[in-house]
Amino acid sequence: MKLIYFAWLKQRTGTAEEEVTPPKEVTDVAALLEWLKSRGPGYAAALRDLSVVRVAVNQEFARLDHRLEPGDEVALFPPVTGG
């Protein structure tokens, strides 16, 4: 699974992009975020307040209960501020 981070999520996790193989019990977005928190203090800090974290799966906005597949591209970012 490919993970991509943008804006302050990239800064706090110290990661722009990574390939991960989460444990089998990680089947949806909510479980993925919980698992990521356990990967280090930067991840825990970045994901402490999920109300300011948005998720896209394969470049479409996704909710916490969205089911994940091994080949998915999952992006984590704050609410958007373009225009």
Partner 1 sequence: MIRVQREDFDPARETQALVEGKHEIGGVVSFVGLVRDLASGGAISAMTLEHYPGMTERKLAEIEAEAHARWPLAASLIIHRYGRLEPGERIVLVATASSHRDAAFEACRFLVDWLKTKAPFWKLEETPQGERWVEARAEDDRTAKEWAQPKSKPEAAE
Q: Show the site string, 9-48: x = touches partner 1 by CB under 8 A, - = not.
A: ----------------------------------------
Q: What is the Cα–Cα distance from 74 to 57, expressed in whole angstroms?
A: 5
Dist. CA 75–CA 32, nearest whole Å: 12
> Applying CB under 8 A, which part among 20-28, 33-41, 53-61, 64-72 lies near partner 1?
53-61
- Can residue 80 be called a binding residue for partner 1 (CB under 8 A)? yes
Residue closer to partner 1 by CB (options 26, 76) is 76
d(CA 77, CA 79): 7
Residue 68 contacts residue 27 (beta carbons within 8 Å): yes
CB of 22 to partner 1, least distance (A): 21
Nearest alpha-carbon partner for 43 in 28, 56, 53, 57: 53
Residues that bind partner 1 (CB under 8 A): 4, 6-8, 56, 59-60, 75, 77-83
